[in-house]
Chain A
Amino acid sequence: MHTFELYFAAAILAGTPLLLAATGELLGETVGLLNVGIEGVMLIGAVTGVVVTLHTNNAELGLLVGALAGAVFLLVFYALPVVALGTEQILPGFGVWFVGLGLSQLIGVNYENTPVSSGSTVVRLPGIDRIPVVKELIGQYPWPVYLAFVLPFVVAWVLARTRHGRNLRAIGEDPVAASAGAGIAVRWWRTVYVAVNGLLGGFAGAVLAVIAVGEWGTDVTAGRGFIALAVVIFSGWRSMRLIVGAYIIGALLILADLGGALSWPIPSEFLDMMPYIGAVAILTVWALRPGRRAAAPGSLGVRLKYSG
Chain B
Amino acid sequence: MSLSLPTVTDVHVRQSIGVRSLRSRWTWIRQEPSETRSWICRLIAVVLALVVAGAYLVITVHVPDVLGLVLRTTFTTAPGLQELVVLATPFFLTAMAAQIPLRVGLWNVGGEGQFFAGAWLATAFAFSLPHAPGGVLIIGMLLAGAVGGAIWVAIPVLVKTLLNVNEIITTLMLNFAATYWIAYWITGSWRYPSTQGGTIESRFMPAQSNLPLIHLAGGLDSGLIIAVALTIAVGLAVRYSIFGYRTLIVGSGRAVSSYAGVRVRWVIALSLLLGGALAGAGGVLQLIGNSHQLTPGLSDNTGYLGIAVAVLAGGSVLGVIVMSCLLAVIMSVGQAVQIYGVSSEDVFILIGLLLLLATIAEVVAKYRLVRKVPTGGTARVPKEPVGLAPSVSESSRAAVAGDVG
User: A residues bordering B, Cβ < 8 Å?
Assistant: 34, 36, 40, 77, 81, 85-92, 94-103, 105-106, 109, 175-176, 179-180, 186-187, 218, 222-223, 226-227, 229-230, 233, 267, 269-270, 272-273, 276-277, 279-280, 283-284, 286-288, 292-296, 299-308
Q: Is B172 an interface residue (CB 8 A)?
A: yes
Instruction: Check B355 against A102 for contact (C-beta < 8 Å).
Output: no
20 contacts between A and B (CB under 8 A): A77-B352, A86-B363, A95-B356, A98-B308, A101-B345, A102-B350, A105-B348, A175-B390, A226-B169, A269-B184, A273-B177, A277-B173, A279-B173, A293-B403, A302-B396, A305-B390, A307-B15, A307-B387, A307-B389, A308-B387
B388 → chain A, closest Cβ, in Å?
5
The reply to whether the CB of B48 lies closer than 8 angstroms to some CB of chain A is: no
Q: Is the CB of B180 within 8 A of A273?
A: yes
In the complex the two chains form, is B107's CB within 8 Å of A90's CB? yes
Q: Which residues of A contact B396 (CB under 8 A)?
A: 34, 88-90, 301-303
Also in contact, A102 and B166, with CB within 8 A (given A277-B177, A301-B397, A304-B389): no
Could you say which of B30, B165, B351 has the most chain A C-beta atoms within 10 Å of its C-beta?
Answer: B165
Quick one: which of B177, B180, B386 contacts A176, CB cutoff 8 A?
A: B386
* A177: nearest chain-B partner, CB-CB: B386
Given known A98-B352, A98-B355, A223-B172, contact A34–B400 (CB-CB < 8 A): yes
Given contacts A95-B356, A233-B169, A279-B173, 14 further A-B contacts (CB under 8 A): A91-B358, A95-B354, A101-B348, A102-B346, A226-B169, A229-B168, A230-B173, A270-B184, A273-B181, A280-B159, A280-B170, A301-B396, A303-B392, A305-B30
Whether A296 lies near B400 (C-beta < 8 A) is: yes
Q: Give the CA-CA distance A95 to B351 in the complex, in Å.
A: 8
Is B399 within 8 A of A90, CB to CB?
yes
| A contact residues around B354 at 8 Å (CB) | 95
Closest residue on chain B to residue A84 by CB atoms: B360
Q: Are B388 and A186 within 8 A (Cβ)? A: yes
* B353: contacting residue among A85, A87, A95, A276, CB under 8 A: A95
Residues of A with C-beta under 8 A to B400: 34, 233, 296, 300-301
Q: Which of B155, B156, B356, B387 has the most CB of A within 10 A?
A: B356
Partner of A226, one of B164, B172, B177, B347: B172
Contacts of A287 in B (CB 8 A): 159, 163-165
Whether the pair B397, A77 counts as a contact (CB closer than 8 A) is: no
Q: Total contacts A to B, CB within 8 angstroms? A: 213
CB within 8 Å of A: which B378-405 residues: 384-393, 396-397, 399-403
| Residue B327 interfacial (CB < 8 Å) | no
CB-CB < 8 A to A100: which residues of B? 352
Contact call B308/A304, Cβ cutoff below 8 A: no
Instruction: Check B169 against A176 for contact (C-beta < 8 Å).
Output: no
- CA distance in complex: A272, B45 (Å): 39
Q: Is there contact, CB below 8 Å, between A175 and B176?
A: no
A residues less than 8 Å from B129 (CB atoms): none
- Measured between alpha carbons, how far is A30 from B402 in the docked complex, in Å? 16
> Per a CB cutoff under 8 Å, which of B169, B355, B359 touches A230?
B169
Task: Sort A-B residue pairs by CB-CB distance and give the 4 closest, nearest first.
Answer: A102-B348, A99-B352, A98-B352, A102-B349
Complex contacts, A226 vs chain B, CB 8 Å: 168-169, 172-173
Given A90-B107, A98-B352, A230-B173, does the pair A269, B345 have CB atoms closer than 8 Å?
Answer: no
Interface SS, B side:
helix
Provide the residues of chain A in CB contact with B180, threshold 8 Å. Answer: 269-270, 272-273
Given the known interface contacts A97-B352, A277-B177, A280-B170, the answer about A302 and B388 at a Cβ–Cβ threshold of 8 Å is no
Given contacts A91-B311, A273-B180, whether A302 and B173 have CB atoms under 8 Å apart is no
Contact (Cβ within 8 A) A267 B401: no
In the complex, the answer to whether A294 meets B401 with C-beta atoms within 8 Å is yes
In the complex, residue of chain A having the shortest beta-carbon distance to the beta carbon of B184: A269
B57-115 residues at the A interface, CB under 8 angstroms? 107
* Min CB gap A232→B, angstroms: 10
Complexed CA–CA distance, A223 and B13 (Å):
43
Q: Judge whether B401 and A295 touch: CB under 8 Å.
A: yes
A303: nearest residue on chain B (CB-CB)? B393
**Shortest Cβ gap from A42 to chain B (Å):** 14
Q: Is the CB of B387 within 8 A of A269?
A: no
- Complex Cα distance A153/B311, Å? 39
User: In the assembled complex, which residues on chain B have CB atoms less than 8 Å from the CB atom of A187?
Assistant: 387
Q: How distant is the Cα of A303 from the Cα of B402 in the complex, in angstroms? A: 17
Chain A residues within an 8 Å CB radius of B384: 307
Docked CA distance A175–B391 (Å): 12
Partner of A304, one of B173, B388, B403: B388
Q: How far is the CA of A246 from the CA of B388 in the complex (A)?
A: 35
Please, which residue of chain B has its CB at the minimum distance from the CB of A226?
A: B172
Q: Is the CB of A91 within 8 A of B348?
A: no
Please give, as numbers and ranges, the residues of chain B lying within 8 Å of A279 by CB-CB distance. Answer: 169, 173
Rounded to whole angstroms, the CA-CA distance of A105 and B112 in the bound complex is: 20
Q: Which residues of B contact A91 (CB under 8 A)?
A: 311, 355-356, 358-359
Once A105-B345, A288-B163, A307-B14 are accepted as A-B contacts, the answer to whether A98 and B351 lie under 8 Å apart by CB is yes
* Chain B residues in 8 Å Cβ range of A85: 360, 363
**Is B16 an interface residue when CB atoms closer than 8 A count as contact?**
yes
- Give the residue name and chain of the B residue nearest to A295 (CB): B401
Q: Which of A233, A269, A292 has its CB near the most chain B CB atoms (within 10 A)?
A: A269
In the complex, what's the smallest C-beta–C-beta distance from A92 to chain B, in angstroms? 5
Which chain A residues border B355 with CB–CB below 8 Å? 91-92, 94-95, 98
- B359 with A294: CB separation less than 8 A: no
Contact of B389 with A283 in the complex, beta carbons under 8 Å = no
Cα distance, A300 to B399, chains bound together (Å): 10
The answer for the CA separation of A102 and B349 in the assembled complex, in Å, is 5
Judge whether A88 and B393 touch: CB under 8 Å: yes
Q: Is B362 an interface residue (CB 8 A)?
A: yes
